[in-house]
């Protein structure tokens, strides 16, 4: 499934949080309505059965509660997608990746294995650190195999890890450096990789135990003697499609965070939208904010000749590259694990749904037993009673009149995100002022704050819908200048 992932280490963020964020995008011309819910231990299956692959897996009897972003239509499986558990561990799964023929000839996909549909449900309720997430998923991949290439992110208070699958049963994972961010579109992303660490002390790298033998047997290492091992060259794709679909997204995001570090434009650019060697991670030129994450994961190449909405774009390049903020965005979520807050209120899960160009980022506390109905009630029925569908309707109308609607969208985004922050800060202070800070008290306070935020968002979303509808109605083709008098 097409997606874009952004990971940020704790020393690279504005408040010392670890942050992992991902767009889930539908493939082709379809859409997958999503909802934001809490899965309680009693609702977690003890034997999991995949809808797609039919694999059956017995699960531990002590799952934790966790948030999730499953499909509203369960006919194709659960697709829990992203969430946070009660141990304070977050994951997002998955980023669909690419590979090459040499990998698949040595380790073909496992038709009856696990895939994106399954991974969050199989892993998140049972892990107590980001590293444990890598270990558990690695074990599942080696045991059951997978029928597709995927990238999966894990985070806790201190660490961010990124795992990428290799063929049907192999995998590698790397800890994102604390002072860096990392970008992952839909191709194999890990570049320089320390195999000795991965197969030894595992301080910053991990991998399936027989990876070195697998590489040698299939002649996958394309690095010359003495050069660092390049995992992207060994395990990834090198297709023309990558240069319009994948590499441009890395180019734009890293251009944003490191605009002065390299030349990104012109005939002497260090990296262009078609560069295969854009680094997986970099130290940003300044600290990264939540608002930065929303901006780049909503991007449509603003300020370049590739912007599909710019009136000045060259016709040759306009719409040439696959945008990050695309019509097929299902949702965007970001987990922010804040080190300066008490543990019961530490984690925020920022959520939005529909096409990111036209929606707003909404913060919710993650340590809760339920989520607001406006975000949890999505069904396959189109209705403005649902945050997902309201945003989908707004985007479809505003896209056709971007210049006229842009100001309304920008004011909406600013108002929702500012008011959301305000409610979070007020609730943080209320909890910190309590003399007896129990987890039960924290849960109730956070649920109340989440309901306040949802009510605010619904009011502002309805208002935006009204404004966009008026703009589009006034531009209908059957309009006529003379009015009845």
Residues 185 and 277 in one domain: yes
Average pLDDT over residues 84-97: 98
Range of 141's domain? Answer: 3-340
| Mean pLDDT, residues 185-199 | 97
Closest Cα to residue 82, out of 331, 296, 257, 266?
Answer: 331
| Distance spanning both ends of the chain, measured CA to CA | 55
For residue 197, is pLDDT > 80?
yes
**Residue 398 and residue 282 share a domain:** no
Indicate whether 376 belongs to any domain. Answer: no
Q: Is residue 194 located within the same domain as residue 260?
A: yes
Tell me: do 392 and 330 sit in the same domain.
no
Three state DSSP letters for the chain:
CCEEEEEECHHHECCCCEEEEEEEECCCCCCCCECCEEECHHHCCCEEECCCCCCEEECCCCCCCEEECCECCHHHCCCCCEEEECCCCEEEEEEECCCCHHHHHHCCCCCCCECCCCHHHHHHHHCCCHHHHHHHHHHHHHHHCECCCEEEEEECCCCEEEEEEECCCEEEEEECCCCCEEEECCCCCCCECCHHHHCCCCCCEEECCCHHHHHHHCCCCCCCCCCCCEHHHHHCCCCCCHHHHCHHHHHHHHHHHCCCCCCCCCCCCCCCCCCCCCCCEECCCCCECHHHHHHHCCCCCCCCCCCCCCCCCCCCCCCCCCCCCCCCEEEEEEEEECCCCCHHHCEEEEEEECCCCCCCCEEEECCCCCCCHHHHCCCCCCCCCCHHHHHHHHHHHHHCCHHHHHHHHHHHHHHHHHHHHHHHHHHHHHHHHCCCCCHHHHHHHHHHHHHHHHHHHHHHHHHHHHHHHHHHHCCCCCCCCCCCC
47 falls within a domain: yes
| pLDDT surpasses 90 at 257 | yes
- Given pLDDT bands bounded at 50, 70 and 90, which one contains residue 314? low
Among 3, 180, 281, 405, which one carries the catalytic annotation? 3
Q: pLDDT-based confidence at 333, cuts 50/70/90?
A: very high
Residue 123 lies in a domain: yes
Q: Please indicate whether residue 212 or residue 76 has the higher confidence score (pLDDT).
A: 212
pLDDT number for residue 317: 82
pLDDT value at residue 176: 98
Per cent of the chain over pLDDT 70 is 99
What is the per-residue pLDDT across 383-402, written as a single tens digit (0 to 9) for each? 999 999 999 999 999 999 99
Task: Assess whether pLDDT exceeds 90 at residue 370.
Answer: yes
The pLDDT value recorded for residue 221 is: 97
pLDDT for 484 equals 67
pLDDT tens-digit series, residues 25-40: 998 777 899 999 999 9
Domain boundary among 325, 340, 355: 340
CA-CA distances (angstroms) from residue 376 to 67, 72, 254, 371, 388?
11, 9, 34, 6, 9
Q: Are residues 173 and 88 in the same domain?
A: yes
How much is the mean pLDDT over the chain?
Answer: 96
Cβ 159 vs Cβ 95: under 8 Å? no
Known catalytic membership, residue 180: no
The residues that bridge with 3 in the sheet, in sequence order, are 24
Range in 65-69, 142-146, 225-229, 261-265 the model is least confident about: 225-229
As a whole number, mean pLDDT of residues 20-25 equals 98
Average pLDDT over residues 99-116: 98
> Is residue 50 in a domain?
yes
Residue 225 has pLDDT above 80, yes or no: yes
150 and 53, same domain (yes or no): yes
Residue that terminates a domain, selected from 340, 363, 389: 340
Residues 319 and 171 in one domain: yes
The verdict on 414 and 269 lying in the same domain is no
The answer to the question of residue 221 being in a domain is: yes
Q: Is residue 347 part of a domain?
A: no
The percent of residues in the chain predicted with pLDDT above 90, rounded, is 94
Overall pTM surpassing 0.95 (yes/no): yes
Hey, which residues does 170 pair with through a beta bridge? Answer: 166
Averaged pLDDT for residues 345-365? 98
Are residues 86 and 159 both part of a single domain? yes
Residues 395 and 332 in one domain: no
- Looking at residue 16, what is its pLDDT? 98
Same domain, 250 and 329: yes
9, 92: one domain: yes
In a domain, 363, yes or no: no
Window from 18-32, 49-63, 267-281, 380-394 with minimum mean pLDDT: 18-32
CA–CA separation, 1 vs 323, rounded Å? 15
Which residue(s) pair with 352 in the sheet? 332
The two three-digit tokens of residue 477, written as one number: 């083709």
Query: How many domains does one find in the chain?
Result: 2
d(CA 363, CA 318): 34
Angle at 7 (CA atoms; ends 321, 386), nearest 5 degrees: 75
Domain boundary among 312, 340, 368: 340
In a domain, 373, yes or no: no
């Amino acid at each position: 499934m097409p997606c874009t992932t952004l990971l940020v280490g704790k020393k690279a963020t504005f408040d010392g949080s670890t942050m992992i964020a991902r767009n889930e995008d539908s493939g082709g011309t379809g859409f997958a309505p999503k909802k934001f819910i809490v899965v309680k231990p009693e609702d977690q299956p003890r034997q999991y059965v995949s809808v797609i692959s039919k694999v059956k897996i017995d699960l531990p009897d002590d799952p934790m509660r966790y948030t999730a972003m499953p499909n509203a239509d369960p006919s194709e499986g659960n697709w829990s997608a992203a969430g946070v558990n009660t141990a304070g561990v977050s994951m997002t799964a998955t980023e669909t990746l690419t590979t090459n023929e040499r990998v698949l000839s040595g380790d073909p996909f496992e038709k009856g294995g696990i895939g994106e549909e399954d991974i969050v449900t199989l892993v998140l309720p049972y892990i107590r650190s980001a590293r444990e997430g890598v270990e558990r998923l690695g074990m599942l991949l080696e045991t059951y195999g997978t029928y597709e290439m995927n990238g999966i992110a894990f985070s806790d208070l201190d660490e961010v890890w990124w795992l990428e699958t290799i063929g049907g049963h192999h995998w590698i994972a790397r800890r994102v450096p604390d002072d860096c961010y990392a970008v992952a579109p839909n191709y194999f992303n890990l570049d320089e990789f320390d195999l000795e660490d991965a197969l030894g002390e595992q301080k910053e790298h991990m991998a399936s135990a027989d990876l070195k033998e697998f590489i040698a047997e299939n002649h996958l290492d394309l690095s010359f003697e003495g050069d660092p091992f390049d995992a992207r060259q060994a395990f990834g794709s090198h297709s023309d499609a990558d240069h319009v679909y994948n590499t441009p997204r890395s180019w734009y995001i890293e251009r944003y965070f490191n605009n002065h570090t390299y030349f990104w434009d012109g005939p002497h650019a260090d990296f262009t939208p078609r560069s295969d060697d854009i680094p997986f991670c970099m130290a940003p030129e300044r600290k990264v904010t939540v608002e930065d994450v929303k901006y780049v994961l909503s991007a449509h190449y603003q300020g370049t000749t590739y912007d599909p909405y710019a009136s000045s774009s060259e016709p040759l390049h306009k719409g040439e590259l696959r945008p990050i903020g695309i019509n097929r965005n299902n949702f965007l979520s970001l987990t922010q694990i804040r080190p300066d807050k008490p543990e019961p209120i530490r984690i925020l899960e920022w959520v939005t749904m529909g096409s990111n160009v036209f929606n707003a980022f909404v913060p919710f506390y993650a340590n809760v037993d339920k989520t607001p109905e406006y975000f949890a009630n999505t069904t396959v029925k189109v209705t403005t009673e649902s945050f997902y569908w309201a945003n989908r309707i707004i985007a479809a109308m505003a896209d056709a009149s971007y210049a006229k609607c842009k100001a309304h969208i920008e004011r909406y985004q600013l108002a929702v995100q500012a008011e959301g922050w305000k409610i979070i800060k007020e609730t943080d202070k209320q909890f910190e002022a309590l003399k007896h800070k129990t987890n039960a008290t924290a849960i109730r306070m956070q649920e109340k704050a989440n309901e306040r935020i949802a009510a605010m968002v619904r009011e502002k979303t309805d208002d935006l819908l009204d404004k966009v509808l008026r703009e589009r109605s006034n531009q209908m083709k059957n309009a006529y200048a003379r009015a009845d008098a």
